[in-house]
Amino acid sequence: MNWTWFHKWGSPKWFYQVSGRWLTGCAWSAALLLLVGLVWGLAFAPPDYQQGNSFRIIYIHVPAAILAQSCYLMLAVAGAVSLIWKMKLADIALQQAAPFGAWMTVIALVTGSLWGKPTWGTYWVWDARLTSMLILLFLYFGVIALGQAISNRDSAAKACAVLALVGAVNIPIIKYSVEWWNTLHQPATFKITGKATMAMEMWLPLLIMIIGFYCFFATVLLLRMRLEVLRRESRASWVKTEIHRMLEKSQ
Amino acid sequence: MSFSTFGEFLAMGSHGPFVWGAYGISMLVLAINLLLPLSARRTYLQGEARRLRREESK
């Protein structure tokens, strides 16, 4: 097998150059998909026959919850790569994705609680799904705090990678919490395979919102990673050239 | 279109505060996530510009 594609990721300079091209595409796709998804979900999708219009919260609740979990999985993969190959870029990705994941968990919890009030009659219950999502939020806080508390970059990378990997055990717990325990939370609505649980005209805007959230994540992550690459590689000559170029452009 | 008037759209069938609250908070969080790295980048470039000027004047 040819491993050159993997070795390229060892070079922050290569990443900085290609990510500049990816960024524009991600940003435009995110803007377009989120706009279409929002208008479709809020105004055009039919109301739910039981929940009425409060079900429209699904169009942000489900994408945010999916992103919160995908982002943590990404942290665990980046952690493994950074532990095994000592790849600088993997540690940068881990550190820069963690705040976004925490924010997505907050959105999922807040929108879920606003959805719970009209549907279940309460903002919060100590139910398996809700509690395991709260634990996910604390895991994110742990990764962020650990990364900032240790001043030695290599030790911080190692500690965060281990926490990200160990914490990943929570992801299947979140996913199966609605099946393993008797919970108030409904089982998964959004499925790619298997029997559809939603009408097409409700499912399609949800799919658009989910892809839109992924594109938004990519945009934010690339923005943050590119800045961090410049900061960490500030002594390299290519970074100095790049900063000169950007300063000339902004003047 | 699932609503016949704009008032109905805003009311969301008596669930207006919950739906609009959830969407409002989420859009605010998304905006924060986009604006923070952009402003951090600007601050970083301004700092670098100051540093370069200092080094040149030495």
A212-229 pLDDT, tens digit each = 999 999 999 999 999 999
pLDDT of residue A7: 82
Rounded (5°) CA angle A38-A39-A43: 115
Mean pLDDT of chain A: 90
Q: Do B18 and A114 touch (CB under 8 A)?
A: yes
* A59 — pLDDT class (breaks 50, 70, 90): very high
pLDDT, tens digit, 9 for 90 and up, residues A237-248 = 898 888 888 888
pLDDT, tens digit, 9 for 90 and up, residues A84-143 = 998 889 999 999 999 999 999 999 999 999 999 998 888 998 988 999 999 999 999 999
pLDDT of residue B42: 92
Q: Give CA torsion, residues A45, A50, A53, A55, to 10 deg.
A: -80
pLDDT of residue B8: 84
* A52 — pLDDT class (breaks 50, 70, 90): confident
Structure tokens at A122: 């309460």
From A34, A54, A220, residue closest to B37, measured CB to CB: A220
Percent of chain A with pLDDT over 70: 97
**Which residues of chain B carry a pLDDT beneath 70?**
none
Contacts of A41 (CB under 8 A, 6+ apart): A56, A58, A59, A205, A206, A209
| Chain A: closest CA distance from residue B12 (Å) | 5
Residue bearing the bigger pLDDT, A145 or B9: A145
Sole residue written with tokens 């200092």: B54
Q: Do B48 and A60 touch (CB under 8 A)?
A: no
Contacts of A136 (CB under 8 A, 6+ apart): A68, A69, A72, A105, A167, A170, A171, A174
Q: Which long-range contacts (CB under 8 A, 24 or more apart) does B48-52 make?
A: B48/A243, B48/A247, B49/A247, B52/A243, B52/A244, B52/A247
pLDDT, tens digit, 9 for 90 and up, residues A38-51 = 999 998 888 888 88
pLDDT of residue A145: 95
Q: Do B18 and A57 touch (CB under 8 A)?
A: yes
| Chain B: closest CA distance from residue A224 (Å) | 6
Structure tokens at A48: 């739910």
pLDDT of residue A183: 80
Gap between the Cα atoms of A25 and A27, Å rounded = 6
Residue bearing the bigger pLDDT, A22 or A3: A22
Contacts of A59 (CB under 8 A, 6+ apart): A37, A38, A41, A42, A45, A205, A206, A209
Chain A residues in contact with chain B using a Cβ-Cβ cutoff of 8 Å:
34, 38, 42-47, 52-54, 56-57, 60-61, 64, 99-100, 103, 106-107, 110-111, 114-115, 117-118, 216, 219-220, 223-224, 227, 230-231, 243-244, 246-247, 250
Residue boundaries of the structural domains of chain B: 6-57
List the one residue out of A52, A43, A115, A36 whose CA is nearest residue B21. Answer: A115
Query: What single DSSP character describes residue A57?
Result: G
pLDDT of residue A196: 66
Contacts of A15 (CB under 8 A, 6+ apart): A8, A9, A89, A225, A229
State mean pLDDT over A19-26.
93
Amino acid identity, residue A70? S
Handedness of CA A218, A224, A226, A229 (dihedral sign): negative
| Chain A: closest CA distance from residue B25 (Å) | 8
CB A139 within 8 A of CB A163: yes
* A235 — pLDDT class (breaks 50, 70, 90): confident
pLDDT, tens digit, 9 for 90 and up, residues A162-210 = 999 999 999 999 988 888 888 888 877 776 666 667 888 888 999 999 9
Can you give the length of chain B in residues?
A: 58
Q: Centre a 10 Å sphere on the Cβ of residue B26 and count the other Cβ atoms it contains.
A: 25
